A and B are shown apart, each in its own frame.
Chain A
Amino acid sequence: MGRTISEKILSAHAGVPMKAGEFAVVDVDLAYVQDGTGPLACRQFKAMGFKAAHKPEKKILFVDHASPSPRRELSNDHKFLREFARETGVQFSEIGRGISHSIVFEKYVNPGDVVVAADSHTCTGGALCTFATGMGSTDIAVAFGLGKTWLRCPETVKIRVEGPFPKGVYSKDLMLHIIGKIGADGANYEALELGGGTIRALPMHARITLSNMAVECGAKVGLIEPDEITHAWLREHGRDHKFPDLTPDKDAVYERVIEIDAAKLKPTIACPHFVDNTKTIDEAERVHVDQVFIGTCTNGRIEDLRIAAAILKGKSIKPGTRLIVTPSTVEVYRQAAEENLLQVFVVAGGLVTAPGCGACVGVHEGILGDDEVCVTTQNRNFCGRMGNPKGLIYLASPALAAATAIEGRIADPRQYV
């Protein structure tokens, strides 16, 4: 019987053949935490009696959620993480360097790796065909100590997408469409394999958006089969691009197959307070918007900023609406500065923050007021997500977000691109 991508990767890491539904302890190639989950992971590491980290060069502590620290409690958490890194030799990524998932995508993860991290959007790595999945602090503490974790080999939902995107439609719209269609628990405990002609034609930044949001339909991973675009990314980022054959077998067994015609998609938003509460722009009420946020591990890459800047160039954001742009990593920030994109955002009336998670995590840099509406390129819109349970969050592509900043209400990006 043929094997899915997940079955291939996990078999190689378990040392025994694995089929969907089986449990095994597997080797972990890379493990990381961020400043919201890291302090607990480090305390659990000590509580379990570990003294040294397994392969400390492949364990990373990121400060990205509260970066730079807005409160002394968090400054002390950061201080604790720095001390832990000094004691154990694990890697440390300072404030302002960027979001964990975006940095590991630039520098660390490879096709066929198993990566676990204490953050739900670890599944971003799936765009490079990495079996990358989020867990809690204690599981990552175990991975830090032993270089191992236990996993259940997931069943796989195959999503096959064919056809070109219409004007103004991006991979964000596709992923919101998929989540709206199958629901927030539509793939709980399962793997997604995203494929088909549309996916093969997508540049890497657009694939990142898809894999990043796999967790929003409950999936463990969102895997994309490696191809020339994968090889090119690895070459451009100075990484060895030799990896095992990860093509799913022709007779691999799928839990189900979902076919999507990309040509029928429209710009799509997720309305408060659930990611699967989706509407096309034609169905959406064009409500007033107080804040537009462009960035995050979902849509904070240089190509995302270029799309937004192309729409905002020479225009002004609507008075009564504010625009916050947060590049995902320092590399994106540097490139955006070089291309004068930061200038475009600021001249239009927006502001640019340091690289990191920014307003997405509700800690600082854009907490919503009561009853305020935000259109954001992030990945989830749960009640309270942006720091205030009375805030209303809509998820959208960078193009829809930029158009919204200009109009001051939920806007159709198709007339701007």
Chain B
Amino acid sequence: MKLNGKAWKFGDGISTDHIAPGRLFHLRSNLPELAKHVMEDARPEFAAAVQPGDFIVGGRNFGQGSSREHAPTIIKLAGVSAVLAKSIARIFFRNAINVGLPVIIMDTDTIAEGDKLEVDLAEGVVKNLTQGTSCRIPPLPPVMRKILADGGMVEHIKKHGGKLDLE
């Protein structure tokens, strides 16, 4: 499956506080409402303007900080098709895969704000349609590929008879 959309650029060190601010703690059991504030403390205009299929393009250590899974969940709820970053913080990485949000680790310096991107996860290729370039992306570890292929951790468990089937 190919993902298509335009790039929204963010800097280094985007934390889960930027993505899902602690001051909105009371909305965590109301994810559609929380999703209206996604990325609010990094780019306040993002939530209202993001289009289904668009990509979040970060720098180093994207998703650092709190373990709140609500962060990748509301990115996905907002219609974002994948997060591309130079590096992804550990807990955010697991959470994103668990909620079925693809993450891609690559050099994101070459991508400009608004570039049209096409991502082919099966082939492992990111095409920058605006710039006419493409690059290969390393595959995820097999454990994560399996969870993502099943549609996230809840679906994985349901599909495998209430067990983890990763070995």
Please measure, in the bound complex, the distance between the C-alpha atom of A388 and the C-alpha atom of B33, giving whole angstroms. 19
Asked if residues A146 and B29 are in contact (CB atoms below 8 Å), the reply is no
Shortest CB-to-CB span from B118 to chain A, Å, is 28
**Contact partner, B18, options A76, A139, A380, A382, Cβ 8 Å:** A382
Given known A-B contacts A139-B94, A185-B61, A362 and B164 have beta carbons under 8 A apart: no
Shortest CB-to-CB span from A118 to chain B, Å, is 6
**Contact partner, A48, options B87, B89, B142, B158, Cβ 8 Å:** B158
Asked if residues A48 and B157 are in contact (CB atoms below 8 Å), the reply is yes
Q: Report which B residues bind A (CB closer than 8 A).
A: 13, 15, 17-18, 21-23, 25-30, 41, 60-61, 64-70, 87, 89-91, 94-95, 98-99, 141-143, 152-154, 157-158, 162-164, 166-167
**Contact partner, B69, options A48, A66, A137, Cβ 8 Å:** A137
Residues of the B chain whose Cβ atoms lie less than 8 Å from the Cβ of A65: 25
Of the stretches A34-42, A55-63, A335-343, A347-355, the one at the interface is: A34-42
Range, interface on chain A: 35 or more
Decide if A134 is an interface residue (CB 8 Å cutoff).
Answer: yes
Please measure, in the bound complex, the distance between the C-alpha atom of A292 and the C-alpha atom of B15, giving whole angstroms. 23
Asked if residues A23 and B143 are in contact (CB atoms below 8 Å), the reply is yes
Question: Could you list some 11 contacts between A and B, CB below 8 A?
Answer: A36-B66, A36-B68, A120-B66, A138-B95, A139-B95, A139-B98, A146-B163, A152-B141, A220-B90, A362-B23, A383-B41
Decide if A237 is an interface residue (CB 8 Å cutoff).
Answer: no
Asked if residues B26 and A136 are in contact (CB atoms below 8 Å), the reply is no
Residues of the A chain whose Cβ atoms lie less than 8 Å from the Cβ of B142: 23
Decide if A68 is an interface residue (CB 8 Å cutoff).
Answer: no
Asked if residues A389 and B21 are in contact (CB atoms below 8 Å), the reply is yes
Residues of the B chain whose Cβ atoms lie less than 8 Å from the Cβ of A135: 67, 91, 94-95
Q: Report which A residues bind B (CB closer than 8 A).
A: 23-25, 36-37, 39-40, 44, 47-50, 65-66, 71, 73-74, 76-77, 80, 118-120, 122, 134-139, 142, 145-146, 148-150, 152, 184-185, 188-189, 215, 218, 220, 274, 361-363, 367, 380, 382-389
Residues of the B chain whose Cβ atoms lie less than 8 Å from the Cβ of A149: 164
The residue on B at minimum CB distance from A24 is B167
**Contact partner, B61, options A23, A184, A363, Cβ 8 Å:** A184
Shortest CB-to-CB span from B62 to chain A, Å, is 10
Shortest CB-to-CB span from A126 to chain B, Å, is 15
Residues of the B chain whose Cβ atoms lie less than 8 Å from the Cβ of A215: 91
Residues of the B chain whose Cβ atoms lie less than 8 Å from the Cβ of A184: 13, 61, 64
The residue on B at minimum CB distance from A69 is B26
